[in-house]
Each structure stands twice: as C-alpha cells, then as structure tokens.
Amino acid sequence: MSHNQLTESGRLHHFLSIEGLKRALLTEIMDRAEQFSSISHQQVKKVPLLRGKTIVNLFFENSTRTRTTFELAAKRLSADVISLNINTSSASKGESLRDTLHNLEAMHSDMFVVRHNQSGAAEFIAQHVAPHVSVINAGDGCHAHPTQAMLDMFTIRRHKHHFPDLRVAIIGDILHSRVARSQIQALATLGVGEIRVIAPKTLLPTDCKTLGVHVYHDMEAGLKDVDVVITLRLQLERMQGALLPSAREYFQCYGLTERKLSLAKPDAIVMHPGPINRGVEIASAVADGPQSVILEQVTHGIAVRMAIMSMTLGSQAELHEVTS
Amino acid sequence: MNLHIKNGRVIDPASQLDAQLDIFIRDGKIVAMSSHLDGFNADKTIDATGLIVCPGLVDLNARLREPGQEHTATIDSETLAAVAGGITSLCVPPDTDPVIDTPAVVELIEERAKKSGRAMVYTIGALTQKLQGELLTEMAALKMAGCIGVSNGLSPIKNSLILRRAMEYAATLDLTLFINAADPWLQGNGCVHEGAISARLGLTGIPETTETIAVARDLLLIELTGVRAHFHNISCGKTVSLIKDAQNKGLAVTADVSAHHLHLSEHDIGNYDTLSHVMPPLRSIRDREQLQQGIRDGIITAICSHHQPLDNDAKLGPFPETTPGISGLETLLALTMKLVDDEEITLHQAIASLTSHPAEILGIDAGQLKTGAQADICIFNPNIYNECQPNKFVSAGKNSPFSGWLFNNKVTHTVFNGKLVFGQDKIHSISV
C-alpha cells in the first residue's frame, strides 16, 4: 500500500510507517545513524544541519522516553524544538485535531513529531499539513512506531551482522503493539530469515500469519535457536478485557527468565522497547544480564532519530558535508 | 397532468413484463400501458427511446437526519437525492432524535415528506422506548400513526427476554420486525472487519461472529415467537446460510444487503480511507462473493442504499474516530446495475431487488407497474458511461467511497405520483 511518505525522487518526506520502504532506505537510515552516534562522544554534541528549522513534538499520549530522545535528537541537529502534551481523553475529536495542526502551522513549523492513541492518526495528520511540513510518526495507536523499529534494527545490526541469517522472536502483546508491527515489517524488509511471534491467542491478531510471521504459543518451542529475543511491554490494563488472568500467570508462561533464555542461541541478544515491567514480561536477572542490550537501545534512539529527522528535513548536500 | 412515456423498454419484475411499450399517466395513475391510447392528450411527453422504464425504486433503509440532525441533512434535501437516484419510496429507521417512539414523530416526518412531495417516506417505529432495549413502545399507536414495521435500529437488544417479548408483541400486531444484527460485546469498539487488514493497520476488528451469533439468537427467537422479521444490511457469507436454513424451515424471514457491501471489501480501506468506514464493516472478498450468491439464490431479496449522509467533518480524523456511513441514495441503481454489467446477477434480479421485492417486504402497494396503480416510475439510460462524482451529489452527504468509479447507467427521469419530480434530458457521457 502506498504511503505518501516519499517524494517523487524516492526520498523521505514523512516517516509514517516502515511498510512500503525499500531495504536500501532502511540501510541508509542505519548508516547515517552510525555516523551520528559518534557525535554523542564529542565535546560539542551539535551539528548545524537543521539550524533555523522549527520542530514541534505533538504528543497526544503520554511519553517520557520517546519524547525526550526526539527532543535531544532535534537539539543536536540545531533545530528549535517545542514539545506539547495534548490531552485527548477529553472530547477532542477530528476537528479539534485539525484546528490544533493549523494553529501550529500558522507558527511556521517545519516538522511535527506526532504520537496519538488512534491507529492512522499520523497518516491523517500527514494528509492535512501544508505540503512543506514533514510528519514523523512517534507511535499511532496499535499501528506503527517506525522510529522505534529502526533503532531496534540498528541495535541488532550492531551485534549481528547479516540479517538474512537471523532468527528473531518477538514475545508478548502483538495484538496491541505498534512496536511489533513496525519491527515485523522492518525485519522482513531487511530479509531476516525467520520472524517468530510468541504469545497466547488472546494477544495475537486474527490472521496474524498474514503479517509474515511464524506463530508460537509456547516459549520453549518459540525460543529455540533464536538470535534475537524481543520482549514487549505488557500493559497492565490487559487483565480488564479478559485477555489474561493475571500478571503472575503471564510471567509464568511468557516471562523471559534465564532458564527460558538458555534455549535461545548462547550469543542471543535480549531487547525491550521499554519501559520494563520487571517480573511481568521479563525477569530482572535477564533485563540486567549480560545478553541484554536494552539500555543500548535507548542510546541508539537519539542517533537513529537524528538520522530520520535529517533525512526528511535536511538538504542532501549539507548532510553529506557534515557526516562525511 | 397527463404524462406520456413513449418508446421505452418497460421492465416490471412483478408481472414479468419486459417489452417496448408506452405508458400513459393521468391524475397520478397509470391509465394504460400499450403502444398507443386513443384520445390521450399529453401535457408532457418523455421520449424514452433507448431507456429502461421500471417501477420507482423502493429503499428499505435510508437515514434522512431529520428530526435531530438537520445541520447534516433534511427530509427535503434527501428526498431530492432519492428521486435523483430513481427512488420513490423509502423507509427511515427509528434512530432519529427524538426517536420514532411516539406517533408525534411519525406525523412530523410524514408531514415534512408530504410537503416536499417527491417520494413516499415510510417510518419504522422503535421497538423499545428511546431504543434503550428496556420498555416496549406503544406499537399499536405507532402502527395506527403509519409505521410499517418496528426496529431497534443500530442498538441491539442485549436482554434476550425483552427481545422475546418485543417480538411477541410485534407479532400480535402483525408488525414486521426489522433487525440490524450485532452482538454488542463482540462488536466492542471495533471499526473494521477482523482479519488481515485489521492485523496490518492495528485497528480493532469486528469478527464475523458479531453478526452470526446475533442472527442465530434472533432466528431462534423468531421461530419461538412467530414474528415476521427482516434482517437489514447483512455482511457475512455465513449469515446467508443461517437465513437460508431459516427460510427452508418455513420461517417468515427476509434479508437485504447494502449496494456497497456487494462491491467493496475490507481491502478498500487501503490506508485508512475513512470513506470506507461503515457499519457493519466491509468484510472479506469471500463474504462479498457469498452475498452476491445469496442474491442469485433468492435468499437475499432486496438491495438497499443504507444511506447515511454525513458532513465532511464526520470523515476527517483518525479512522477509529470518524463516523461510519456512506451516502448511498444516488449510487443505489448504478451499483446494482453494475452487478448486471459484471454478469453477477441478471437484469431481472437487479430490478426486482430494487422494486417489487422490497415493496413485498414492506407490504406496500408499490414497486410495480400496472394499470390503475399510482405512477411511481424510474427511467434510466442503461448505456451511458459516466463517472461517479460525490461532490456533485444532490444529497447533503457527499461521503461516498465510489468517487471516480465508472458506471454505465444513469437515472434520467423519476416520476412520483404521476409528477415528473426529477428530469435530466441531457446527460453527458464520458468516453472510455
């Protein structure tokens, strides 16, 4: 399905979903992030790529980590950043969303980084902003969280070199996870050999296989010989809709423990998009253990978001100059 | 006023008529259907050469938004849209504001419709007060006021005991029960068919069992109570089999399908196309095929617009926050005739499912052409390429997912009660 996120010449204009993006583009994001990640170690952690640009973080849903890394990424690119938290729990519907956008556009912003609790919200906003404004999806409902998926791919690439040789298992609430959907699309685009999802039936979408994954309900079978283990955060409100009986039973069946992890390859890495529920989806010993790369993921988030922001908003020539 | 429709291909499914004939109309009634009529002085003659002349269409379900949402549409605006689509009789479901649960609301709607004078507007009364599924309405009074049936609209009755009693009471009064079947718990806050598309887009799905469980329960209660029932807007292939079984058992059960469910599937949602947000949701391609088969097999006998005019804002927003509904009056005939072009159904099946069959479901004297009957007639060109342009709809609701579709037919004239209420002598064909 064609997103309108690419320009006619195939460059990124918006970044809404991994779906439809080519492998070369994902690789370019990671290559560029690799260059930016060295900046974090410099005395002066800034490059002037987006100087004079205004970026508005528009968060209709609470977030600390994602919003902060987006802010940091924008500031390191020398952009001016405003962060707005907008409460959607009130009766604010489509029209007020559009009005909010138009008001912000009137302040001549160049980019919106959007998080919203409804699937398709980023797509909707991209359709309604002025043509020169870029939109980055920082998570829309259960649909997509493409920057998170890219920082996960970047982290995997740092540790494992050749995507086609990999077996990756994603454990947990696939049904409600925008992270999982974007990860699956990114892994598939990068040619990962086998993508597995492990969850009880209540947390898997109907027709889950159409996403291109192998479905497991059993951790022992699902984790066997995998190279990458991704655990997803379990929202504790899932007990309400009769999706699960208790956090305790979930941990017993689907929590990642050292014992279960031992079924994966010895050099398997453990990932989590955060924030972690210790003792629910992952044991502390694993989260803090030698195979965990969870904190690295957070660090990589800045470089990857710098790469994506600069690719959507920066001029290509400048980009080349600064990063080469 | 004397009206002469000459040289048309007259098709009347009720009498199996399909012939080149003239129709002569005087004082609102058809006085003759023949090649000529001596001593008839026409005030107006419509040359229907090359056109199909059929009964005015009968639509079992169209929301006109009045009373309650006049800012969206009115009886006046929507009856004008109806006749532009060849529809001369239509039914409004009870979910207006106020709900059609008292004779006063029935009278208001009928009076407004009469004032507009373009199409016959029938009301379906509420089954329970305020559609809350708790207390019965005064159905005898509603029937007396003119309601042709009762329904709980889009608010399914959760309590099976109350539904049973409501059915028994409606059966006592010989009122047809119109049902939009949905299990409210399985439907939840879903907005699309549960399947590959809901998985991909991360939208909450509505499983097929939302409909089939409700239909199965209702059919068992229909059997128990003996009420005559009609299922509106069925969307799943499995529902067709359930209804077929009930009909084979001899239950008085009929069903309709919307024209859009016969053409679209979940895949048309594409990338969150809110114009394809409709309830019940667009289902799988297999369901769509089984609905078409249901028409061929005579299990589903009516095709309806399920017209829901909306203002533009209702469709602007993230998909789950938009209002479901399609403005369908002006595409009903075109979409149904497209099934004939696609060789899915016969011309006879198409016209019958828009005229005599829905009239029979309602038990009204309409949907057929015969001498002495009220002259409600639709004339259309079956051979003219034109592009669907929702922004040019007569209806106040421009919300149609069929923008840019090519149709091979177009309504040219509509006669209601012997009056020409819509006429377009010159229509533009586009070359393809």
Q: Any residues with CB less than 8 A from the CB of A213 and at least 6 apart, and which? A: A170, A184, A195, A196, A197
Count of structural domains, chain B: 2
Identify from B319, B322, B323 which residue to disrupt to test chain A contact, counting A C-beta atoms within 10 A and taking the largest count.
B319
Give A-chain residues touching B194 at CB under 8 angstroms: 206
Domains and CATH numbers, chain A: 23-144+299-323 (3.40.50.1370), 146-293 (3.40.50.1370)
Token pair 């994902």: residue: A26
Q: How far is B57 from chain A (nearest CA, A)?
A: 36
One domain, residues B172 and B235: yes
d(CA A102, CA A107): 9
Indicate the residue of A3, A118, A121 with minimum beta-carbon distance to B271: A3
Q: Chain A: give the shortest CA distance to residue B87, in Å.
A: 33
Distance (Å) from the C-alpha of residue A323 to the closest C-alpha of chain B?
35
pLDDT at site A10: 86
- Mean pLDDT score of chain A, rounded to an integer? 90
Tens digits of residue pLDDT in A278-287: 999 999 999 9
For B274-318, the pLDDT digits (tens) are 999 999 999 999 999 999 999 999 999 999 999 999 999 899 989
Across residues A247-267, what is the average pLDDT? 96
Asked whether residue B56 carries a pLDDT value surpassing 90, the answer given is: yes
Supply the DSSP string of B214-245, one letter for each residue.
HHHHHHHHHHHH---EEE-S---HHHHHHHHH
Give domain status of residue B47, yes or no.
Answer: yes
Is residue B333 over pLDDT 70?
yes
Whether the per-residue pLDDT at A1 is higher than 70: the answer is no
Cis bond upstream, residue B280 (ω within 30): yes
**Residue in A closest to B272 by C-alpha:** A120
pLDDT, tens only, B364-403: 999 999 999 999 999 999 999 999 999 999 999 999 999 9
pLDDT confidence of residue A2: 41
Chain B contacts to A (CB-CB under 8 A): 194-196, 198-205, 207, 270-272, 313, 316-322
pLDDT score of A217 more than 80: yes
- Give pLDDT, residue B32: 95
Which domain CATH number covers B94? Answer: 3.20.20.140
Assigned domain for B367 exists? no
Report the half-sphere exposure of A259 (CA within 13 A, side-chain side).
7
Distance from CA of A17 to the nearest CA of B (A): 10
Angle (CA) B142-B144-B145 rounded to 5° is 65
Pairing of strands A214-216, B410-416: unpaired
Q: What is the ipTM of this complex?
A: 0.89
Do B383 and B267 belong to one domain? no
| Confidence band, pLDDT 50/70/90 cuts, at residue B428 | low
| Nearest CA-CA partner of B401 in B335, B318, B338 | B335
Backbone φ and ψ for A61, nearest 5 degrees, come out as -140, 145
Q: Detail the DSSP E strand segments found in A68-188.
A: 80-85, 111-116, 134-140, 167-171
- Same domain flag for B93 and B67: yes
pLDDT tens sequence across A76-115: 999 999 988 876 544 455 556 777 777 877 878 899 999 9
Mark whether B83 and B29 lie in a shared domain.
no
d(CA A41, CA A322): 16
- Averaged pLDDT, A119-143: 93
As a whole number of angstroms, the distance between CA A90 and CA A104 comes to: 20
Compute the distance between CA of residue B50 and CA of residue B398 in angstroms, rounded to an integer.
Answer: 30
- The A-side interface with B (CB below 8 A) comprises 1-3, 19, 93-95, 97-98, 116, 118-121, 123-124, 128, 140-144, 178, 181, 205-208, 210-211
Task: Please list, in sequence order, all residues whose beta carbon lies within 8 angstroms of the beta carbon of residue B152, skipping any fewer than 6 positions away.
Answer: B94, B126, B127, B128, B131, B133, B166, B179, B180
Percent of chain A with pLDDT over 90: 73
Same domain, B63 and B209: yes
Any idea what DSSP says for residue B326?
B
Residues forming a β-bridge with A229 = A169, A270
B26 & B150 share domain: no
Please write the tens of the pLDDT for every residue from A151-175. Answer: 999 999 999 989 999 999 999 999 9
- Average of per-residue pLDDT across A296-324: 80
Q: Is it the case that residue B117 has pLDDT exceeding 90?
A: yes
DSSP B383-425: S--EE--GGG-SSS----TTTT-EES-EEEEEEETTEEEEE-S
Cis peptide bond prior to A266, omega within 30° of 0: no
- Confidence (pTM): 0.92
pLDDT exceeds cutoff 50 at A139: yes
Same domain, B215 and B299: yes
Q: Tokens for B48?
A: 């229907």
Range of the domain at B411: 2-53+374-389+404-423
Q: Token pair of B313, please?
A: 């804002």
Buried b (16+ CB within 10 A) or exposed e, A285-317: ebbeeebbbbebbbebbbbbbbbbbbbbbbeee
Has residue B429 been placed in a domain? Answer: no
With beta carbons under 8 A apart, name residues in chain B contacting A206: 194-195, 198-199, 205, 207
Of B92 and A323, the one with more pLDDT: B92
Higher pLDDT, A196 or A313: A196
Segment B52-63 shows an average pLDDT of 98
Predicted local distance difference test score (pLDDT) of residue B429: 65
Is there a domain that residue B264 lies in? yes
The percent helix, strand, coil of chain A (3-state, each to 5) is: 45, 15, 40
B157 pLDDT tier (thresholds 50, 70, 90): very high
Q: Are residues B41 and B133 in the same domain?
A: no
Dist. CA A13–CA A7, nearest whole Å: 6
Nearest to A120 among B195, B316, B319 (CB): B319
Q: Say which of A93, A123, A142 has its CB closest to residue B272.
A: A123
- Residues of chain B with pLDDT > 90: what percent? 96
User: Residue B196 has what pLDDT?
Assistant: 93
Nearest to B69 by CA among B280, B275, B310, B274: B310
The pLDDT, as a whole number, for residue B425 is 61
Secondary structure element (H or E) that encloses residue B196, with its range: helix B196-201
Calpha distance B251→B223 (Å, rounded): 7
Residues B245-284: pLDDT tens digits?
999 999 999 999 999 999 999 999 999 999 999 999 999 9
Chain A residue closest in CA terms to B312: A95
Contact B321 A94 (CB under 8 A): yes
Using the beta-carbon criterion (under 8 Å), do B318 and A205 form an inter-chain contact? no
Supply the pLDDT for residue A107.
Answer: 79
* The pairing of beta strand B410-416 with beta strand B377-381: antiparallel
Q: Which two tokens stand for residue A241?
A: 């809709």
A123–B271: do the CB atoms touch at under 8 Å?
Answer: yes
Buried b vs exposed e over B374-384: b needs ≥16 C-beta within 10 Å? Answer: bbbbbbbbbeb
Interval A26-51: pLDDT, tens: 999 999 999 999 887 787 778 999 99
Same domain (yes/no): B288, B185: yes
Let me know whether B130 and B18 are in one domain.
Answer: no
Question: Which CATH number does the domain housing residue B381 bear?
Answer: 2.30.40.10
Indicate whether B45 and B192 sit together in one domain.
no
Q: Is residue B237 included in any domain, yes or no? A: yes
Whether A181 sits inside 8 A of B317 (CB atoms) is no
For residue B135, pLDDT over 60 is answered with: yes
Please give the Cα distance from B418 to B88 (Å, whole number): 11
Collapsed DSSP state (helix, strand, coil) of residue B208:
coil
Using an 8 Å CB-CB cutoff, list chain B residues near A119. 201-203, 272, 318-320
From chain B, pick out residues whose CB is under 8 angstroms from the CB of A89.
none
Residue from the list A94, A141, A206 with its beta carbon closest to the beta carbon of B322: A94
Length of chain A counted residue by residue = 324
The yes-or-no verdict on residue B332 having pLDDT over 90 is yes
Over residues B47-51, mean pLDDT: 95
CA distance A318 to chain B (A): 34
Closest CA of chain A from B185, distance in Å:
11
Report how far residue A268's alpha carbon sits from residue B170's, in angstroms, rounded to the nearest whole number: 67
Same-domain pairing of B282 and B258: yes
pLDDT at residue B244 greater than cutoff 90 = yes
Say if B417 falls within a structural domain: yes
Quote the CA–CA distance of B261 and B302 in Å, as a whole number: 13
Q: What is the pLDDT of residues B4-31, one digit of tens each?
A: 999 999 999 999 999 999 999 999 999 9
